[in-house]
A and B are shown apart, each in its own frame.
Chain A
Amino acid sequence: MKDLLAWSRHHWALLLGGGMLAVLAALTLAAPALYPEDPLSMVGPPDVRPFDEGFLFGTDSLGRDVAAGILHGARTSLLLGLVSTACSVLLGTGVGAVAGYFAGRVDDVLMRLTEFFQTIPSFMLALVLVAVLSPSIWTIVLAIAVVSWPPVARLVRAEFLSLRSRDFVKAAVVGGHPTHVIILRHILPNALTPIIVTGSLMVASAILLESALSFLGLGDRNNITWGFMIGAGRSMIRQAWWLSAIPGLAIFYTVLALNLLGQGLADLLNPLLARTRRA
């Protein structure tokens, strides 16, 4: 009991972050049941203040229910964050793993490519991509993925470079395992922790990046997201602050939860990692 208390005191970030995310996930899943209407439909009078006329968070200038938007928007925003992160993690891990495992010339070429993408001011590149392809959920996901994979690649490469000279990898090579098996079964699991930690933070950055695109008028208009809500509500900040403050809080809540989780994971797993490395 005492141990558990001490453990949770030390890992407050992990517990808090995980708990916050669990609540969010539950609410997101409950959205269709709580608000069966399309969140983009006009269900009430415009500009209702929070808690007035039965609207928890009020309505926007077209009479759309802000609470419904928040819950339905959670799904799209989280999905957008998760999918774009998944894409960039896959891409980054692929590039990093190959570069780190094979080293030498392959590494050189892939790292030049990575540096190349890291040199282009990333937000500008995202802007160009979305403008070129016309804004929609999928082009935004693509743009975010394209600009956010390089750090993952660098990270994974570094892990692979250090892991490939370890005894257990050498043993596997001598044992005649095929290369892809060595990469996927032997090295990757050992490099997973930093990838997960980084990934949890990237979900948060993706949500923020979408809101920034939305601010510059390059958001998706057919699906409700928090970025869309904050971008649309921002122009009415002086008339109806809650229109942008509430989705802003939702973004903040999620990003905070993901960050805490990431930090908590790092704290939890880092010593373990250090131990395995020394082993």
Chain B
Amino acid sequence: MISRRQLGALAGAAALSPALAAHAEEPRRGGRLNLIVQPEPASAFIGINRLGPSAFVGSKINEGLLSFGRDLKPRPMLAESWEVSPDGLTYVFRLRRNAAWHDGRPFTSADVVYSITEFLPKVFSRSRAVFTNVDRVTAVDAHTVELKMKHPFPGLLTVFERSGGTMVPRHIYEGTDPYRNPANEKPIGTGPFKFAEWRRGSFIRLERNENYWQPDRPYLDEIYFHVVPDANGRSVAFETGQVDVLRGGDVEWFEVRRLARLPEVEVTEAGWEFLSPLAWFNLNLRNPPLNDVRFRRALSHAIDRNFIVRTIFAGFGTPCDGPMTRGMAFSDPAAWTTYKYDTRAAIALLDEMGLRPGRDGIRAELRFLPLPYGETWLRLGDYLRERLRAIGIRLNVTPVDMPTLVQRVNAGDFDIFSNFVYMLPDPAMNFTQVYRSDMKAIGTSSNLGGYDNPELTAMLLRAERTQDRAERQRLYTEIQKILTRDVPILWTHEIGFLTLHRKKVRNLMATGLGTDDTLADTWLAG
């Protein structure tokens, strides 16, 4: 008997959907798309809430200046064109002349200036960090915006997608507390869909924006986001045809395989190119023995990344031994020091440290907090505990809810926790923040484990300000060498988030943001 496990990741399932191959057909107007939003978000306004569920709903309502293709090249959105001066110090955006807010007011350069200089720095730390590199933002005319940089910052364009660069209406938000604005309940954007109705605990409904700037778009009349709190319930909703799409994370990974075999269903790994999620274990380098690089290398030897991908994540994703995903610019796996799965090597390192097993066979005891995102992540914790036991380390697992996790991590009250981070295409966005020494203080950080390497920090900051591509590559290669030698984080794999959808849903993955984009081009076949 051949077990399912022995087949390839997607064998038996429908072939990877050629999400872009449906062009031969003539798109059809009309219809309702049924999606699932999980968990139910606090707000549908992406301007004040950028977690997955809010971004998923809000990205149909509020737009950015740019979007990104699956090739990760910028594409026009609210900016119909843009220019970057060769010295990297001036950016000019030309805006759509026919774009308008859902309340009828025109979208102009004043909105852009307000969003970039006032709104975004106030509400989103990534945007704040990026925009500190900008010297001046000016409205040249009603439909032209110019950014003057303090110094080159070649990753800048990446921030202008709908999340890092949400465009918000100035006439509504200027002079108010963005978090307390009544408009947040019924967000006003420029996107192809308008907020219509939210019955908490049941659904959110968006309706077609008849005055969208792109002619004949969107194709759909309305979108329903169903709220279904139990993972099995979400499977059933898809199976019984009540919803048309399941996104990565809606159901557990192992469930995707089964659903992919249903008739009239396609499965695709596309649509996550931009976010590019990387999973890892954060290590608290402030605590012994985790402060010893030999101990961290031993941990890296102790886990089988192939097993994690193959068994725990049901064969979806790619094992990763280093700090960057393959899709990211400047990723250079050839430069990485890797630690192959080898329990013996791990034990040898612990012995070398003088970390001997006690009478009960235990060399060290660590506290572990699993990411509270469902069974798969809990199972990953079970696996880590089991592998560490094999090298004489006891891992005490405490399943916590999100506030507890945030609180304990911010207080430095942990040894290991599981995590994943959207890396985004340019390392200047999220990659840098994770390793900067000046972000290691407890409670302020994105460098959660307190990794302290001032020399590397200097290189990171130099790299993000280097306009010359070859020089930038050299710096990032060096950075990756240092990081994989120091192992400040236990990288495990690039997450393969899969999207399942009924075949009648066409052109779902129009860009590298997948279902997190506007869905203006998505249509339903008859």
Q: Which of B375, B381, B386 makes the CB contact (< 8 A) with A235?
A: B375
Bound CA span A219–B312, Å? 20
B398 and A235 contacting across the interface, CB-CB below 8 Å: no
Query: Beta-carbon contacts of B465-484 to A below 8 Å, as 1s and 0s?
Result: 00000000000000000000
Which applies to chain B's interface (DSSP): helix, strand, loop or mixed?
Answer: helix
In the complex, how many angstroms separate the beta carbon of A229 from the nearest chain B beta carbon? 12
Q: Report if A134-B404 is in contact (Cβ < 8 Å); known contacts: A40-B382, A221-B381, A222-B396.
A: yes
Q: Which residue of A lies closest to B314 (CB)?
A: A61
B386 and A217 contacting across the interface, CB-CB below 8 Å: no
A60-75 residues with Cβ-Cβ distance < 8 A to B are 61-62
Bound CA span A203–B115, Å? 60
A134 and B398 contacting across the interface, CB-CB below 8 Å: yes
Q: Which of B375, B381, B400 has the most CB of A within 10 A?
A: B375
Complex contacts, A234 vs chain B, CB 8 Å: 232
Complex contacts, A131 vs chain B, CB 8 Å: 401, 404
| B378 contacts chain A at the CB level, 8 A cutoff | yes
| B258 contacts chain A at the CB level, 8 A cutoff | yes
A61 and B254 contacting across the interface, CB-CB below 8 Å: yes
Q: Report if A221-B311 is in contact (Cβ < 8 Å); known contacts: A239-B254, A239-B255.
A: no
Q: Which of B311, B374, B399 makes the CB contact (< 8 A) with A46?
A: B311
B400 and A134 contacting across the interface, CB-CB below 8 Å: yes
Query: Beta-carbon contacts of A209-246 to B below 8 Å, as 1s and 0s?
Result: 00000000111111000000000101111110000000
Bound CA span A234–B374, Å? 12
| B355 contacts chain A at the CB level, 8 A cutoff | no
| B252 contacts chain A at the CB level, 8 A cutoff | yes
| A107 contacts chain B at the CB level, 8 A cutoff | no
B258 and A238 contacting across the interface, CB-CB below 8 Å: yes
Q: Which of A38, A40, A238 has the most CB of B within 10 A?
A: A238
Q: Report if A221-B254 is in contact (Cβ < 8 Å); known contacts: A235-B232, A238-B235.
A: no
In the complex, how many angstroms separate the beta carbon of B407 from the nearest chain A beta carbon? 11
In the complex, how many angstroms separate the beta carbon of B363 from the nearest chain A beta carbon? 17
B389 and A41 contacting across the interface, CB-CB below 8 Å: yes
Query: Beta-carbon contacts of B390-401 to A below 8 Å, as 1s and 0s?
Result: 000000111111
| A193 contacts chain B at the CB level, 8 A cutoff | no
Q: Report if A221-B398 is in contact (Cβ < 8 Å); known contacts: A40-B386, A46-B311, A62-B386.
A: yes
Q: Which residue of B lies closest to A234 (CB)?
A: B232
Complex contacts, A238 vs chain B, CB 8 Å: 232, 235, 255, 258
B251-277 residues with Cβ-Cβ distance < 8 A to A are 252, 254-255, 258
Bound CA span A229–B311, Å? 18
Interface size on A, residues (CB 8 A): 26
Q: Report if A136-B379 is in contact (Cβ < 8 Å); known contacts: A47-B3, A62-B386, A235-B232.
A: no
Q: Report if A61-B399 is in contact (Cβ < 8 Å); known contacts: A41-B389, A235-B375, A239-B258.
A: no
Q: Which of A47, A61, A134 has the most CB of B within 10 A?
A: A61
Interface size on B, residues (CB 8 A): 31
| A42 contacts chain B at the CB level, 8 A cutoff | yes
B3 and A217 contacting across the interface, CB-CB below 8 Å: no
| A135 contacts chain B at the CB level, 8 A cutoff | yes
Complex contacts, A235 vs chain B, CB 8 Å: 231-232, 252, 255, 374-375
| B370 contacts chain A at the CB level, 8 A cutoff | yes
| B180 contacts chain A at the CB level, 8 A cutoff | no
Bound CA span A217–B235, Å? 19
Complex contacts, B289 vs chain A, CB 8 Å: none
A62 and B382 contacting across the interface, CB-CB below 8 Å: yes
B386 and A41 contacting across the interface, CB-CB below 8 Å: yes
In the complex, how many angstroms separate the beta carbon of A259 from the nearest chain B beta carbon? 28
Bound CA span A232–B398, Å? 15
Bound CA span A40–B378, Å? 13
Query: Beta-carbon contacts of B184-225 to A below 8 Å, as 1s and 0s?
Result: 000000000000000000000000000000000000000000
A236 and B378 contacting across the interface, CB-CB below 8 Å: no
In the complex, how many angstroms separate the beta carbon of A153 from the nearest chain B beta carbon? 31
A217 and B5 contacting across the interface, CB-CB below 8 Å: no
Q: Which residue of B lies closest to A135 (CB)?
A: B399
Complex contacts, A219 vs chain B, CB 8 Å: 399
Bound CA span A136–B400, Å? 10
In the complex, how many angstroms separate the beta carbon of A270 from the nearest chain B beta carbon? 42
Bound CA span A46–B313, Å? 13
In the complex, how many angstroms separate the beta carbon of A131 from the nearest chain B beta carbon? 6
Q: Report if A42-B401 is in contact (Cβ < 8 Å); known contacts: A217-B372, A234-B232, A239-B258.
A: no
Q: Which residue of A lies closest to B381 (CB)?
A: A221
The contact sample of 5 A-B pairs, CB cut-off 8 A, is A40-B385, A47-B3, A62-B386, A221-B399, A238-B255
**Chain A residues with a Cβ under 8 A of chain B:** 38, 40-42, 45-47, 61-62, 131, 134-136, 217-222, 232, 234-239
Q: A218-B399, A221-B381 are in contact. List 9 more A-B contacts (CB 8 A).
A: A46-B5, A61-B311, A62-B312, A62-B379, A134-B398, A217-B399, A219-B399, A221-B398, A238-B232
